[in-house]
Structure 1
Protein backbone atom coordinates (compact mmCIF):
# COMPACT_ATOMS: atom_id res chain seq x y z
CA UNK A 1 0.00 0.00 0.00
CA UNK A 2 3.03 2.26 0.19
CA UNK A 3 4.24 1.67 -3.36
CA UNK A 4 4.60 4.62 -5.78
CA UNK A 5 1.46 5.50 -7.71
CA UNK A 6 1.47 6.37 -11.43
CA UNK A 7 1.11 10.05 -12.20
CA UNK A 8 -2.12 9.55 -14.15
CA UNK A 9 -3.97 8.04 -11.19
CA UNK A 10 -6.91 10.20 -10.18
CA UNK A 11 -7.89 11.36 -13.69
CA UNK A 12 -11.29 9.77 -13.22
CA UNK A 13 -12.60 6.24 -13.60
CA UNK A 14 -11.32 3.96 -16.33
CA UNK A 15 -13.96 1.45 -15.20
CA UNK A 16 -17.36 2.47 -13.89
CA UNK A 17 -19.97 -0.08 -12.79
CA UNK A 18 -23.39 1.08 -11.65
CA UNK A 19 -26.27 -1.05 -10.38
CA UNK A 20 -24.81 -4.28 -11.75
CA UNK A 21 -27.15 -7.22 -11.34
CA UNK A 22 -26.39 -10.68 -12.76
CA UNK A 23 -29.01 -13.43 -12.64
CA UNK A 24 -28.49 -16.99 -13.88
CA UNK A 25 -31.40 -19.18 -14.95
CA UNK A 26 -30.66 -22.76 -13.94
CA UNK A 27 -32.51 -26.04 -13.65
CA UNK A 28 -33.39 -25.24 -10.03
CA UNK A 29 -34.54 -21.70 -10.70
CA UNK A 30 -33.05 -18.22 -10.78
CA UNK A 31 -29.83 -17.38 -8.95
CA UNK A 32 -28.82 -13.77 -8.35
CA UNK A 33 -25.01 -13.89 -8.35
CA UNK A 34 -24.48 -10.11 -8.18
CA UNK A 35 -27.08 -7.76 -6.75
CA UNK A 36 -26.85 -3.99 -7.29
CA UNK A 37 -23.08 -3.54 -7.34
CA UNK A 38 -21.39 -0.15 -7.85
CA UNK A 39 -17.66 0.46 -8.26
CA UNK A 40 -15.25 2.90 -9.89
CA UNK A 41 -11.63 2.19 -10.79
CA UNK A 42 -9.33 5.14 -11.51
CA UNK A 43 -6.48 5.27 -14.03
CA UNK A 44 -3.46 3.50 -12.59
CA UNK A 45 -5.36 2.19 -9.57
CA UNK A 46 -5.22 -1.34 -8.15
CA UNK A 47 -8.74 -2.18 -7.01
CA UNK A 48 -9.35 -5.38 -5.02
CA UNK A 49 -12.66 -7.24 -4.91
CA UNK A 50 -12.49 -9.59 -1.93
CA UNK A 51 -14.74 -12.21 -0.35
CA UNK A 52 -15.22 -15.92 0.20
CA UNK A 53 -15.96 -18.39 -2.58
CA UNK A 54 -19.48 -17.89 -3.89
CA UNK A 55 -19.62 -14.19 -3.07
CA UNK A 56 -19.92 -13.19 -6.76
CA UNK A 57 -16.37 -11.90 -7.31
CA UNK A 58 -15.59 -13.87 -10.48
CA UNK A 59 -19.02 -13.07 -11.92
CA UNK A 60 -18.14 -9.37 -11.63
CA UNK A 61 -14.89 -10.00 -13.53
CA UNK A 62 -16.66 -11.89 -16.33
CA UNK A 63 -19.38 -9.24 -16.57
CA UNK A 64 -16.82 -6.45 -16.94
CA UNK A 65 -14.95 -8.42 -19.61
CA UNK A 66 -18.21 -9.18 -21.45
CA UNK A 67 -17.65 -12.93 -21.12
CA UNK A 68 -20.72 -14.12 -19.22
CA UNK A 69 -22.58 -17.07 -20.76
CA UNK A 70 -25.89 -16.70 -22.56
CA UNK A 71 -27.71 -18.04 -19.49
CA UNK A 72 -26.84 -14.86 -17.59
CA UNK A 73 -29.26 -11.96 -17.46
CA UNK A 74 -27.35 -8.71 -16.87
CA UNK A 75 -28.72 -5.30 -15.92
CA UNK A 76 -27.06 -2.09 -14.83
CA UNK A 77 -24.27 -0.16 -16.51
CA UNK A 78 -20.66 -1.16 -17.22
CA UNK A 79 -18.41 1.42 -18.84
CA UNK A 80 -14.73 1.05 -19.72
CA UNK A 81 -13.42 4.49 -20.65
CA UNK A 82 -16.31 5.76 -22.78
CA UNK A 83 -17.41 2.31 -23.97
CA UNK A 84 -20.78 0.98 -22.84
CA UNK A 85 -19.94 -2.71 -22.57
CA UNK A 86 -23.50 -3.95 -22.24
CA UNK A 87 -24.72 -2.20 -25.39
CA UNK A 88 -21.92 -3.47 -27.62
CA UNK A 89 -22.71 -6.00 -30.34
CA UNK A 90 -21.02 -9.37 -29.73
CA UNK A 91 -18.23 -8.74 -32.26
CA UNK A 92 -17.27 -5.42 -30.67
CA UNK A 93 -17.50 -6.95 -27.20
CA UNK A 94 -15.03 -9.68 -28.15
CA UNK A 95 -12.63 -7.05 -29.45
CA UNK A 96 -13.02 -4.96 -26.33
CA UNK A 97 -12.34 -7.98 -24.10
CA UNK A 98 -8.75 -8.09 -25.32
CA UNK A 99 -7.95 -4.55 -26.35
CA UNK A 100 -9.44 -2.59 -23.45
CA UNK A 101 -9.76 -5.18 -20.65
CA UNK A 102 -7.37 -8.11 -20.41
CA UNK A 103 -8.56 -11.01 -18.24
CA UNK A 104 -6.26 -13.37 -16.31
CA UNK A 105 -8.50 -16.33 -15.48
CA UNK A 106 -8.34 -18.65 -12.50
CA UNK A 107 -6.38 -21.93 -12.74
CA UNK A 108 -3.56 -21.28 -15.18
CA UNK A 109 -3.16 -24.93 -16.21
CA UNK A 110 -6.76 -25.39 -17.36
CA UNK A 111 -6.84 -21.89 -18.91
CA UNK A 112 -3.97 -22.67 -21.31
CA UNK A 113 -4.36 -24.94 -24.33
CA UNK A 114 -2.29 -28.08 -23.64
CA UNK A 115 -1.95 -28.84 -27.36
CA UNK A 116 -0.12 -25.69 -28.49
CA UNK A 117 3.02 -23.95 -27.33
CA UNK A 118 2.84 -21.09 -24.89
CA UNK A 119 4.45 -18.74 -27.38
CA UNK A 120 1.87 -19.52 -30.06
CA UNK A 121 -0.99 -18.93 -27.62
CA UNK A 122 0.31 -15.41 -27.07
CA UNK A 123 1.08 -14.89 -30.77
CA UNK A 124 -2.37 -16.11 -31.85
CA UNK A 125 -4.00 -13.17 -30.07
CA UNK A 126 -1.80 -10.77 -32.02
CA UNK A 127 -2.39 -12.51 -35.35
CA UNK A 128 -6.18 -12.46 -34.90
CA UNK A 129 -6.56 -8.95 -33.45
CA UNK A 130 -3.60 -7.13 -35.03
CA UNK A 131 -3.19 -9.03 -38.28
CA UNK A 132 0.48 -9.73 -37.55
CA UNK A 133 2.42 -12.34 -39.48
CA UNK A 134 3.31 -15.39 -37.45
CA UNK A 135 7.03 -14.59 -37.22
CA UNK A 136 6.37 -11.03 -36.06
CA UNK A 137 3.77 -12.21 -33.56
CA UNK A 138 6.13 -14.83 -32.14
CA UNK A 139 8.83 -12.17 -31.67
CA UNK A 140 6.30 -10.08 -29.74
CA UNK A 141 5.32 -13.14 -27.70
CA UNK A 142 8.95 -13.58 -26.67
CA UNK A 143 9.09 -9.91 -25.64
CA UNK A 144 5.95 -10.31 -23.53
CA UNK A 145 7.31 -13.41 -21.81
CA UNK A 146 10.45 -11.45 -21.01
CA UNK A 147 8.35 -8.54 -19.72
CA UNK A 148 6.52 -10.87 -17.34
CA UNK A 149 9.76 -12.35 -16.02
CA UNK A 150 9.88 -15.73 -17.76
CA UNK A 151 13.57 -16.76 -17.97
CA UNK A 152 15.06 -17.68 -21.39
CA UNK A 153 11.86 -16.44 -23.09
CA UNK A 154 12.88 -17.40 -26.65
CA UNK A 155 13.38 -21.01 -25.60
CA UNK A 156 10.38 -21.17 -23.24
CA UNK A 157 8.08 -19.81 -25.96
CA UNK A 158 8.51 -23.20 -27.69
CA UNK A 159 7.42 -25.14 -24.59
CA UNK A 160 3.95 -26.47 -23.80
CA UNK A 161 2.01 -25.49 -20.67
CA UNK A 162 2.79 -28.75 -18.84
CA UNK A 163 6.50 -27.90 -19.13
CA UNK A 164 5.97 -24.66 -17.17
CA UNK A 165 5.83 -24.43 -13.38
CA UNK A 166 2.72 -23.00 -11.74
CA UNK A 167 4.31 -19.58 -11.39
CA UNK A 168 5.53 -19.58 -15.00
CA UNK A 169 2.07 -20.56 -16.26
CA UNK A 170 0.62 -17.62 -14.32
CA UNK A 171 3.17 -15.32 -15.98
CA UNK A 172 2.21 -16.75 -19.37
CA UNK A 173 -1.47 -15.98 -18.72
CA UNK A 174 -0.54 -12.43 -17.77
CA UNK A 175 1.51 -12.14 -20.99
CA UNK A 176 -1.54 -13.22 -23.03
CA UNK A 177 -3.71 -10.65 -21.25
CA UNK A 178 -1.12 -7.93 -21.97
CA UNK A 179 -0.69 -8.80 -25.64
CA UNK A 180 -3.10 -6.14 -26.92
CA UNK A 181 -1.91 -3.48 -24.44
CA UNK A 182 -5.20 -3.11 -22.52
CA UNK A 183 -5.78 -0.18 -20.21
CA UNK A 184 -7.37 -2.46 -17.62
CA UNK A 185 -6.10 -5.82 -16.37
CA UNK A 186 -8.52 -8.07 -14.48
CA UNK A 187 -6.69 -10.74 -12.48
CA UNK A 188 -9.01 -13.40 -11.04
CA UNK A 189 -7.32 -15.17 -8.10
CA UNK A 190 -3.85 -14.86 -9.69
CA UNK A 191 -2.02 -16.44 -6.74
CA UNK A 192 -4.25 -19.45 -6.07
CA UNK A 193 -2.32 -22.73 -5.49
CA UNK A 194 1.06 -20.97 -5.57
CA UNK A 195 3.56 -21.27 -2.75
CA UNK A 196 4.48 -18.19 -0.72
CA UNK A 197 7.66 -17.39 -2.67
CA UNK A 198 6.03 -17.64 -6.10
CA UNK A 199 2.98 -15.73 -4.87
CA UNK A 200 5.22 -12.87 -3.76
CA UNK A 201 6.88 -12.86 -7.19
CA UNK A 202 3.51 -12.64 -8.99
CA UNK A 203 2.39 -9.78 -6.74
CA UNK A 204 5.67 -7.94 -7.37
CA UNK A 205 5.15 -8.50 -11.10
CA UNK A 206 1.69 -6.92 -11.00
CA UNK A 207 3.04 -3.92 -9.10
CA UNK A 208 5.87 -3.55 -11.61
CA UNK A 209 3.51 -3.77 -14.58
CA UNK A 210 1.28 -1.11 -13.05
CA UNK A 211 4.31 1.14 -12.60
CA UNK A 212 5.82 0.53 -16.04
CA UNK A 213 2.64 0.42 -18.15
CA UNK A 214 0.40 2.71 -16.09
CA UNK A 215 -2.49 0.27 -16.36
CA UNK A 216 -5.34 -0.14 -13.90
CA UNK A 217 -5.72 -3.53 -12.24
CA UNK A 218 -8.79 -5.16 -10.75
CA UNK A 219 -7.70 -8.11 -8.61
CA UNK A 220 -10.24 -10.70 -7.51
CA UNK A 221 -9.15 -12.53 -4.37
CA UNK A 222 -10.16 -14.10 -1.08
CA UNK A 223 -6.71 -13.42 0.40
CA UNK A 224 -6.56 -10.33 2.61
CA UNK A 225 -2.75 -10.58 2.57
CA UNK A 226 -2.83 -10.03 -1.20
CA UNK A 227 -5.12 -7.04 -0.70
CA UNK A 228 -2.78 -5.53 1.88
CA UNK A 229 0.20 -5.98 -0.46
CA UNK A 230 -1.35 -4.62 -3.64
CA UNK A 231 -4.54 -2.66 -3.33
CA UNK A 232 -5.26 1.04 -3.35
CA UNK A 233 -9.00 0.45 -2.89
CA UNK A 234 -11.05 -2.49 -1.65
CA UNK A 235 -14.60 -3.72 -2.19
CA UNK A 236 -15.73 -6.50 0.16
CA UNK A 237 -18.52 -8.75 -1.21
CA UNK A 238 -20.79 -11.19 0.56
CA UNK A 239 -23.57 -13.22 -1.11
CA UNK A 240 -23.52 -11.08 -4.24
CA UNK A 241 -23.66 -7.71 -2.50
CA UNK A 242 -21.12 -5.08 -1.51
CA UNK A 243 -20.83 -4.88 2.27
CA UNK A 244 -17.88 -2.47 2.53
CA UNK A 245 -15.84 -0.30 0.17
CA UNK A 246 -13.05 2.19 0.74
CA UNK A 247 -9.35 2.80 0.39
CA UNK A 248 -7.17 -0.06 1.57
CA UNK A 249 -5.84 2.13 4.39
CA UNK A 250 -9.36 2.90 5.63
CA UNK A 251 -10.64 -0.66 5.42
CA UNK A 252 -7.62 -2.19 7.17
CA UNK A 253 -7.33 0.50 9.81
CA UNK A 254 -11.05 0.93 10.52
CA UNK A 255 -13.05 -2.06 9.23
CA UNK A 256 -16.69 -1.16 9.74
CA UNK A 257 -18.62 -4.26 8.67
CA UNK A 258 -18.54 -7.37 10.90
CA UNK A 259 -17.72 -9.52 7.87
CA UNK A 260 -14.68 -7.41 7.00
CA UNK A 261 -13.50 -7.59 10.61
CA UNK A 262 -14.00 -11.36 10.60
CA UNK A 263 -11.95 -11.74 7.42
CA UNK A 264 -9.11 -9.74 8.95
CA UNK A 265 -9.23 -11.68 12.24
CA UNK A 266 -8.89 -14.95 10.31
CA UNK A 267 -5.58 -13.89 8.72
CA UNK A 268 -2.36 -15.25 10.33
CA UNK A 269 -0.05 -12.47 11.53
CA UNK A 270 3.56 -12.36 12.61
CA UNK A 271 3.94 -11.70 16.32
CA UNK A 272 0.74 -13.47 17.35
CA UNK A 273 2.72 -16.35 18.81
CA UNK A 274 0.47 -19.21 19.86
CA UNK A 275 -2.68 -17.09 19.72
CA UNK A 276 -5.32 -19.10 17.82
CA UNK A 277 -6.91 -17.81 14.64
CA UNK A 278 -10.57 -16.83 14.69
CA UNK A 279 -12.36 -18.59 11.81
CA UNK A 280 -15.74 -17.30 10.67
CA UNK A 281 -18.39 -19.72 11.95
CA UNK A 282 -20.70 -21.47 9.52
CA UNK A 283 -20.52 -21.20 5.74
CA UNK A 284 -21.65 -18.70 3.11
CA UNK A 285 -25.35 -19.10 2.26
CA UNK A 286 -26.66 -20.62 -0.95
CA UNK A 287 -27.52 -17.88 -3.43
CA UNK A 288 -30.76 -19.76 -4.09
CA UNK A 289 -31.84 -19.49 -0.46
CA UNK A 290 -30.46 -16.29 1.04
CA UNK A 291 -31.50 -15.55 4.61
CA UNK A 292 -33.78 -12.54 5.07
CA UNK A 293 -32.28 -9.16 5.84
CA UNK A 294 -28.49 -9.00 5.97
CA UNK A 295 -27.18 -12.23 4.43
CA UNK A 296 -24.30 -12.34 6.94
CA UNK A 297 -26.45 -12.18 10.06
CA UNK A 298 -26.55 -15.98 10.76
CA UNK A 299 -22.73 -15.92 11.10
CA UNK A 300 -22.34 -12.49 12.70
CA UNK A 301 -21.08 -12.04 16.26
CA UNK A 302 -22.77 -8.62 16.48
CA UNK A 303 -26.24 -9.64 15.28
CA UNK A 304 -29.35 -7.85 16.51
CA UNK A 305 -33.02 -8.53 15.76
CA UNK A 306 -33.19 -5.92 12.99
CA UNK A 307 -30.44 -7.71 11.05
CA UNK A 308 -32.89 -10.41 9.92
CA UNK A 309 -35.55 -7.89 8.91
CA UNK A 310 -33.85 -5.36 6.66
CA UNK A 311 -31.22 -5.40 3.93
CA UNK A 312 -28.95 -2.56 5.10
CA UNK A 313 -27.83 0.08 2.59
CA UNK A 314 -24.25 1.28 2.26
CA UNK A 315 -23.72 4.09 4.76
CA UNK A 316 -21.20 6.87 4.19
CA UNK A 317 -18.43 6.75 6.81
CA UNK A 318 -16.01 9.17 5.21
CA UNK A 319 -14.94 10.60 1.87
CA UNK A 320 -14.70 7.19 0.17
CA UNK A 321 -15.49 4.70 2.94
CA UNK A 322 -18.91 3.02 3.05
CA UNK A 323 -20.32 -0.07 4.78
CA UNK A 324 -23.68 -1.87 4.84
CA UNK A 325 -24.56 -2.75 8.45
CA UNK A 326 -27.85 -2.10 10.25
CA UNK A 327 -25.94 -0.81 13.29
CA UNK A 328 -24.29 1.87 11.13
CA UNK A 329 -27.66 2.78 9.61
CA UNK A 330 -29.18 3.17 13.08
CA UNK A 331 -26.26 5.33 14.23
CA UNK A 332 -26.56 7.51 11.12
CA UNK A 333 -30.24 8.18 11.93
CA UNK A 334 -29.62 9.18 15.56
Structure 2
Protein backbone atom coordinates (compact mmCIF):
# COMPACT_ATOMS: atom_id res chain seq x y z
CA UNK A 1 0.00 0.00 0.00
CA UNK A 2 3.05 2.30 0.19
CA UNK A 3 2.38 3.34 3.79
CA UNK A 4 5.80 2.54 5.24
CA UNK A 5 7.80 5.48 6.65
CA UNK A 6 10.46 7.17 4.52
CA UNK A 7 13.31 5.44 6.34
CA UNK A 8 11.93 1.96 5.67
CA UNK A 9 13.04 -0.16 2.72
CA UNK A 10 11.31 -3.14 1.14
CA UNK A 11 13.49 -5.72 -0.59
CA UNK A 12 12.54 -8.33 -3.13
CA UNK A 13 9.30 -8.53 -5.06
CA UNK A 14 5.66 -7.99 -4.13
CA UNK A 15 3.62 -9.77 -6.78
CA UNK A 16 -0.09 -9.19 -7.34
CA UNK A 17 -0.88 -11.71 -10.03
CA UNK A 18 1.94 -11.14 -12.52
CA UNK A 19 2.46 -7.48 -11.61
CA UNK A 20 5.42 -6.49 -9.42
CA UNK A 21 4.15 -3.70 -7.17
CA UNK A 22 7.71 -2.74 -6.23
CA UNK A 23 8.54 -1.94 -9.86
CA UNK A 24 5.48 0.25 -10.44
CA UNK A 25 5.71 4.01 -10.88
CA UNK A 26 4.11 6.00 -8.02
CA UNK A 27 1.12 7.06 -10.14
CA UNK A 28 0.41 3.47 -11.25
CA UNK A 29 0.73 2.27 -7.69
CA UNK A 30 -1.72 4.91 -6.51
CA UNK A 31 -4.25 3.70 -9.07
CA UNK A 32 -3.73 0.17 -7.79
CA UNK A 33 -4.65 1.11 -4.22
CA UNK A 34 -8.34 0.78 -3.65
CA UNK A 35 -9.07 -0.70 -7.07
CA UNK A 36 -7.09 -3.96 -6.83
CA UNK A 37 -5.87 -3.82 -3.22
CA UNK A 38 -7.64 -2.32 -0.20
CA UNK A 39 -6.72 -2.03 3.47
CA UNK A 40 -8.66 -2.25 6.72
CA UNK A 41 -6.52 -0.73 9.46
CA UNK A 42 -6.71 -1.80 13.08
CA UNK A 43 -7.71 1.58 14.55
CA UNK A 44 -10.94 2.57 12.84
CA UNK A 45 -11.33 5.80 14.83
CA UNK A 46 -7.93 7.07 13.66
CA UNK A 47 -8.41 5.83 10.10
CA UNK A 48 -11.68 7.69 9.57
CA UNK A 49 -11.75 11.47 9.05
CA UNK A 50 -13.56 12.95 12.09
CA UNK A 51 -14.60 16.06 10.13
CA UNK A 52 -16.40 14.26 7.30
CA UNK A 53 -19.48 12.06 7.30
CA UNK A 54 -18.94 8.34 6.97
CA UNK A 55 -21.09 8.27 3.83
CA UNK A 56 -18.99 10.89 2.07
CA UNK A 57 -15.79 9.02 2.93
CA UNK A 58 -17.19 5.97 1.16
CA UNK A 59 -18.52 8.00 -1.76
CA UNK A 60 -15.22 9.84 -2.18
CA UNK A 61 -13.49 6.60 -3.19
CA UNK A 62 -15.96 6.15 -6.04
CA UNK A 63 -15.79 9.79 -7.11
CA UNK A 64 -11.97 9.89 -7.20
CA UNK A 65 -11.25 6.50 -8.76
CA UNK A 66 -14.29 5.97 -10.97
CA UNK A 67 -15.52 9.50 -11.66
CA UNK A 68 -18.96 8.68 -10.28
CA UNK A 69 -21.28 11.65 -9.65
CA UNK A 70 -21.74 12.57 -5.99
CA UNK A 71 -25.44 11.66 -5.80
CA UNK A 72 -24.83 8.24 -7.33
CA UNK A 73 -21.78 7.67 -5.11
CA UNK A 74 -23.77 8.52 -1.97
CA UNK A 75 -26.49 6.07 -3.02
CA UNK A 76 -23.82 3.39 -3.40
CA UNK A 77 -22.48 4.32 0.04
CA UNK A 78 -25.90 3.52 1.51
CA UNK A 79 -25.81 0.13 -0.24
CA UNK A 80 -22.34 -0.64 1.11
CA UNK A 81 -23.28 0.31 4.66
CA UNK A 82 -26.30 -1.99 4.36
CA UNK A 83 -24.10 -4.76 2.94
CA UNK A 84 -21.78 -4.56 5.95
CA UNK A 85 -24.69 -4.86 8.37
CA UNK A 86 -25.07 -1.30 9.65
CA UNK A 87 -28.71 -0.63 10.66
CA UNK A 88 -30.65 2.28 9.12
CA UNK A 89 -27.93 2.93 6.50
CA UNK A 90 -29.85 5.76 4.83
CA UNK A 91 -29.62 7.68 8.12
CA UNK A 92 -26.18 6.52 9.17
CA UNK A 93 -24.67 7.64 5.88
CA UNK A 94 -24.92 11.24 7.15
CA UNK A 95 -23.40 10.54 10.57
CA UNK A 96 -19.83 11.26 11.66
CA UNK A 97 -17.39 8.61 12.95
CA UNK A 98 -17.82 9.66 16.60
CA UNK A 99 -21.52 8.81 16.28
CA UNK A 100 -20.68 5.19 15.44
CA UNK A 101 -19.81 2.46 17.93
CA UNK A 102 -16.45 0.67 17.63
CA UNK A 103 -17.97 -2.25 15.74
CA UNK A 104 -19.88 0.06 13.41
CA UNK A 105 -16.73 2.07 12.65
CA UNK A 106 -14.97 -1.16 11.72
CA UNK A 107 -17.87 -2.03 9.41
CA UNK A 108 -17.63 1.45 7.86
CA UNK A 109 -13.92 0.84 7.13
CA UNK A 110 -14.86 -2.44 5.48
CA UNK A 111 -17.44 -0.60 3.36
CA UNK A 112 -14.78 1.89 2.22
CA UNK A 113 -12.37 -0.94 1.41
CA UNK A 114 -15.01 -2.79 -0.64
CA UNK A 115 -16.24 0.24 -2.60
CA UNK A 116 -14.15 -0.64 -5.66
CA UNK A 117 -14.48 -4.43 -5.26
CA UNK A 118 -10.73 -5.18 -4.91
CA UNK A 119 -9.00 -8.47 -5.65
CA UNK A 120 -7.12 -8.40 -2.35
CA UNK A 121 -8.25 -7.09 1.04
CA UNK A 122 -5.52 -6.55 3.64
CA UNK A 123 -7.04 -6.76 7.13
CA UNK A 124 -4.59 -5.47 9.75
CA UNK A 125 -5.82 -6.64 13.18
CA UNK A 126 -9.45 -5.95 12.16
CA UNK A 127 -10.87 -7.06 15.53
CA UNK A 128 -8.57 -5.06 17.83
CA UNK A 129 -10.35 -3.51 20.86
CA UNK A 130 -13.67 -5.17 19.98
CA UNK A 131 -15.52 -7.36 22.46
CA UNK A 132 -15.92 -11.06 21.74
CA UNK A 133 -19.44 -10.80 20.29
CA UNK A 134 -18.59 -7.95 17.90
CA UNK A 135 -15.32 -9.65 16.94
CA UNK A 136 -17.21 -12.80 15.95
CA UNK A 137 -19.62 -10.70 13.88
CA UNK A 138 -16.78 -8.94 12.03
CA UNK A 139 -15.05 -12.25 11.22
CA UNK A 140 -18.33 -13.72 9.98
CA UNK A 141 -18.88 -10.62 7.86
CA UNK A 142 -15.41 -10.83 6.31
CA UNK A 143 -15.92 -14.51 5.49
CA UNK A 144 -19.26 -13.84 3.80
CA UNK A 145 -17.93 -10.86 1.85
CA UNK A 146 -14.94 -12.89 0.66
CA UNK A 147 -17.33 -15.41 -0.89
CA UNK A 148 -19.61 -12.71 -2.32
CA UNK A 149 -16.88 -10.68 -4.01
CA UNK A 150 -14.52 -13.57 -4.81
CA UNK A 151 -11.59 -11.72 -3.26
CA UNK A 152 -8.59 -12.87 -1.23
CA UNK A 153 -8.02 -11.69 2.34
CA UNK A 154 -4.58 -11.18 3.87
CA UNK A 155 -5.25 -11.27 7.61
CA UNK A 156 -2.55 -9.82 9.89
CA UNK A 157 -3.26 -10.72 13.51
CA UNK A 158 -2.04 -12.10 16.83
CA UNK A 159 -5.43 -13.75 17.35
CA UNK A 160 -4.96 -17.42 16.52
CA UNK A 161 -8.71 -17.95 16.92
CA UNK A 162 -9.32 -15.47 14.09
CA UNK A 163 -6.74 -17.31 11.97
CA UNK A 164 -8.47 -20.63 12.58
CA UNK A 165 -11.85 -19.16 11.68
CA UNK A 166 -10.97 -17.17 8.57
CA UNK A 167 -7.70 -18.35 7.02
CA UNK A 168 -6.85 -21.22 4.68
CA UNK A 169 -3.07 -20.91 5.04
CA UNK A 170 -1.04 -19.41 7.86
CA UNK A 171 2.41 -17.81 7.98
CA UNK A 172 3.80 -17.48 11.51
CA UNK A 173 6.39 -14.69 11.79
CA UNK A 174 8.76 -13.65 14.57
CA UNK A 175 11.04 -10.60 14.46
CA UNK A 176 10.38 -10.21 10.75
CA UNK A 177 11.32 -13.81 9.90
CA UNK A 178 9.06 -16.57 8.61
CA UNK A 179 9.02 -19.30 11.26
CA UNK A 180 6.39 -21.66 9.88
CA UNK A 181 3.97 -21.78 6.96
CA UNK A 182 1.34 -24.30 5.97
CA UNK A 183 -2.36 -24.93 5.73
CA UNK A 184 -4.25 -23.94 8.88
CA UNK A 185 -5.56 -27.41 9.73
CA UNK A 186 -2.13 -29.10 9.72
CA UNK A 187 -0.30 -26.24 11.48
CA UNK A 188 -2.89 -26.08 14.27
CA UNK A 189 -3.07 -29.88 14.63
CA UNK A 190 0.71 -30.36 14.68
CA UNK A 191 2.78 -27.18 15.07
CA UNK A 192 6.41 -27.91 14.27
CA UNK A 193 8.07 -24.67 15.35
CA UNK A 194 8.47 -23.91 19.07
CA UNK A 195 7.06 -20.40 18.59
CA UNK A 196 3.95 -21.67 16.83
CA UNK A 197 3.38 -24.20 19.59
CA UNK A 198 3.91 -21.54 22.27
CA UNK A 199 1.32 -19.28 20.62
CA UNK A 200 -1.24 -22.08 20.56
CA UNK A 201 -0.49 -23.17 24.14
CA UNK A 202 -1.13 -19.62 25.36
CA UNK A 203 -4.75 -19.79 24.15
CA UNK A 204 -7.66 -21.16 26.23
CA UNK A 205 -9.01 -24.46 24.88
CA UNK A 206 -12.33 -26.18 25.44
CA UNK A 207 -10.66 -29.60 25.62
CA UNK A 208 -8.31 -28.46 28.41
CA UNK A 209 -10.76 -27.05 30.92
CA UNK A 210 -9.02 -25.56 33.95
CA UNK A 211 -5.50 -26.05 32.54
CA UNK A 212 -2.97 -23.29 33.12
CA UNK A 213 -2.05 -21.27 30.07
CA UNK A 214 1.65 -21.35 29.15
CA UNK A 215 3.33 -17.96 28.86
CA UNK A 216 6.29 -17.41 26.53
CA UNK A 217 9.29 -16.42 28.67
CA UNK A 218 11.21 -13.23 28.00
CA UNK A 219 10.18 -10.35 25.77
CA UNK A 220 10.16 -9.78 21.99
CA UNK A 221 13.40 -8.30 20.63
CA UNK A 222 13.76 -4.73 19.51
CA UNK A 223 14.00 -4.52 15.70
CA UNK A 224 17.44 -2.94 16.10
CA UNK A 225 18.70 -5.61 18.52
CA UNK A 226 17.69 -8.95 17.01
CA UNK A 227 19.96 -11.76 18.21
CA UNK A 228 22.30 -13.63 15.87
CA UNK A 229 21.04 -16.90 14.50
CA UNK A 230 17.41 -17.75 15.09
CA UNK A 231 15.62 -14.66 16.49
CA UNK A 232 13.44 -16.83 18.75
CA UNK A 233 16.35 -18.71 20.39
CA UNK A 234 16.64 -16.45 23.51
CA UNK A 235 13.08 -17.50 24.45
CA UNK A 236 13.14 -21.07 23.13
CA UNK A 237 13.35 -24.10 25.45
CA UNK A 238 14.84 -26.24 22.65
CA UNK A 239 17.60 -23.85 21.50
CA UNK A 240 21.11 -25.24 21.08
CA UNK A 241 24.47 -23.74 20.10
CA UNK A 242 23.63 -23.90 16.42
CA UNK A 243 20.52 -21.78 17.02
CA UNK A 244 22.66 -18.98 18.43
CA UNK A 245 25.00 -19.10 15.43
CA UNK A 246 22.85 -19.70 12.35
CA UNK A 247 19.39 -18.75 11.13
CA UNK A 248 17.81 -22.12 10.31
CA UNK A 249 16.88 -22.73 6.68
CA UNK A 250 13.26 -23.35 5.75
CA UNK A 251 12.66 -27.10 5.51
CA UNK A 252 9.56 -28.87 4.29
CA UNK A 253 6.94 -29.65 6.93
CA UNK A 254 5.61 -33.17 7.31
CA UNK A 255 2.20 -32.06 5.94
CA UNK A 256 3.44 -29.53 3.36
CA UNK A 257 4.54 -25.94 3.86
CA UNK A 258 7.82 -25.07 5.56
CA UNK A 259 9.31 -24.61 9.02
CA UNK A 260 12.52 -22.75 9.94
CA UNK A 261 13.91 -24.62 12.95
CA UNK A 262 17.12 -26.59 13.51
CA UNK A 263 15.15 -28.89 15.81
CA UNK A 264 11.78 -29.11 14.11
CA UNK A 265 9.25 -30.65 16.50
CA UNK A 266 8.56 -33.57 14.19
CA UNK A 267 12.18 -34.69 14.70
CA UNK A 268 11.78 -34.41 18.48
CA UNK A 269 8.77 -36.70 18.46
CA UNK A 270 7.07 -33.88 20.35
CA UNK A 271 3.46 -32.81 19.91
- Measured after TM superposition, the shift of residue 271 of structure 1 is 4.0
Q: What's the counterpart of residue 151 of structure 2?
A: 215
Q: Is the 8 A contact 1:105 1:111 kept in 2?
A: yes
Of Structure 1 and Structure 2, the greater strand share is in: 1
Q: What's the counterpart of residue 286 of structure 1?
A: 222
Whole-Å Cα distance in 2 between the matches of residues 330 and 318 of structure 1?
Answer: 8
Once superposed, what is the RMSD of the aligned Cα atoms? 1.5
Q: What's the counterpart of residue 204 of structure 2?
A: 268
- Measured after TM superposition, the shift of residue 157 of structure 1 is 0.6
- Measured after TM superposition, the shift of residue 210 of structure 1 is 1.1
Q: What's the counterpart of residue 42 of structure 1?
A: none
Match of 1:252 among 168, 175, 188: 188
Residue pairs, 1:57-68, within 5 angstroms? 65-68=1-4
**1:113-141 deviation line (CA, Å, top 9, x unaligned):** 00000000000111111111110100011
- Measured after TM superposition, the shift of residue 69 of structure 1 is 2.9
Match of 2:24 among 88, 91, 112: 88
Q: Which moved more, 1:236-245 or 1:67-76?
A: 67-76
Q: What's the counterpart of residue 176 of structure 1?
A: 112
Q: What's the counterpart of residue 300 of structure 1?
A: 236
Whole-Å Cα distance in 2 between the matches of residues 76 and 306 of structure 1?
Answer: 27
- Measured after TM superposition, the shift of residue 329 of structure 1 is 11
Q: Give unmatched runs, 5+ long, in structure 2.
A: none
Q: Where has structure 1 moved over 4 Å in runs of 4 or more?
A: none
Of Structure 1 and Structure 2, the greater helix share is in: 2
Whole-Å Cα distance in 2 between the matches of residues 320 and 125 of structure 1?
Answer: 40
Q: How many residues align?
A: 267
Q: 1:280 to 1:100 in 2, by over 3 A?
A: same
Q: Give unmatched runs, 5+ long, in structure 1.
A: 1-64
Q: 1:232 to 1:123 in 2, by over 3 A?
A: same
Match of 2:11 among 67, 75, 80: 75
- Give the TM-score taking structure 1 as reference length: 0.78
Whole-Å Cα distance in 2 between the matches of residues 149 and 238 of structure 1?
Answer: 35
Whole-Å Cα distance in 2 between the matches of residues 126 and 169 of structure 1?
Answer: 19
Q: What's the counterpart of residue 328 of structure 1?
A: 264
- Give the TM-score taking structure 2 as reference length: 0.95
Q: Is the 8 A contact 1:312 1:329 kept in 2?
A: no
